[in-house]
Amino acid sequence: MSQLEENLVNVRSSITEAAQKSGRRPDDVRLVAVSKTMGAEKVAEVLRSGQTLFGENKVQEAREKIPLVGGDAEWHMIGRLQKNKAKYIPGLFTTVHSVDSFELAEALNLAMANALERGKGLKSEILHILIQVNIAMEESKGGATETELINLIKKISILSHLKIKGLMIIPPYSENTEETRAYFKKLRQLRDKIAVMKLPNVDMEELSMGMSHDFEVAIEEGATLVRVGSAIFGERNTA
């Protein structure tokens, strides 16, 4: 087995274990293999090992890489997205995890409308989005604040080419996973609170939370999408 395959097997079994430990079905947790900075060859190897869902955080990098990887991969945009890059999303990505403003949602909706009008062979007429929440109100990170969240969701929910599927968080980094757990728990409570409101055109199924160092805890707290990079691909060259 190659190192990449071995890593993938290990991450998958940790996901299964964490799900079972908390009385959840392993199938209810999807692994997003975060391939940012990794070359297309490496990503294609992981795809051949049976991992079909990938995450990228930069539009330009994804535009170059996705055609090179080819195959039957599904791609999620997980990074901060500028409005002027929204036009590149349809056709490349099925889901955007990082929507945090009405203006960005509007730009994505318009991009979808334009792509559909051009008959751009989209697999789906609807772009799935998650609302990123910045519970700790960190300046350096994107995300809607808790106070604005419900109004933002209500406003976005009327956009016809988007479907809100849930919430996403990147909690403050901490070595102490119990500190991180509190953020995961809080995101789940917010999700549940919004779910009972039964807003039209809003699904609250998904909780995108957990990365290489804390995805087990995130699964214990209800994650349905875990975004795991370095535990699969190895350390990134951040130079």
Residues engaged in binding ligand PLP (CB under 6 A):
34, 36, 57, 78-79, 170, 211-212, 227-231
Distance CA 55, CA 58 (A): 10
Residue with Cβ nearer ligand PLP (161 or 227): 227
Residue with Cβ nearer ligand PLP (43 or 115): 43
Task: List Cβ<8 Å contacts ≥24 apart for 202-207.
Answer: 202/153, 202/157, 202/164, 203/163, 203/164, 203/165, 203/166, 204/164, 204/165, 204/166, 204/167, 205/165, 205/166, 206/130, 206/165, 206/166, 206/167, 207/166, 207/167, 207/168
Nearest to ligand PLP by Cβ — which residue? 229
Which of 91, 198, 217, 216 lies closest to 154, judged by CA? Answer: 198
* Least distance in angstroms from the C-beta of 165 to ligand PLP: 16
* Least distance in angstroms from the C-beta of 193 to ligand PLP: 24
Q: How many Å separate Cα 95 from the centre of its chain?
A: 7
* Least distance in angstroms from the C-beta of 78 to ligand PLP: 4
Contact 51, 8 (CB under 8 A): yes
* Least distance in angstroms from the C-beta of 36 to ligand PLP: 6
Residue with Cβ nearer ligand PLP (69 or 78): 78
Containing 31, the helix (H) or strand (E) segment is: strand 30-34
139 C-beta neighbours (distance < 10 Å), count: 5
* Least distance in angstroms from the C-beta of 226 to ligand PLP: 9
Residue with Cβ nearer ligand PLP (11 or 112): 11
Residue with Cβ nearer ligand PLP (128 or 227): 227
Containing 227, the helix (H) or strand (E) segment is: strand 225-228
* Least distance in angstroms from the C-beta of 213 to ligand PLP: 6
Residue with Cβ nearer ligand PLP (66 or 228): 228
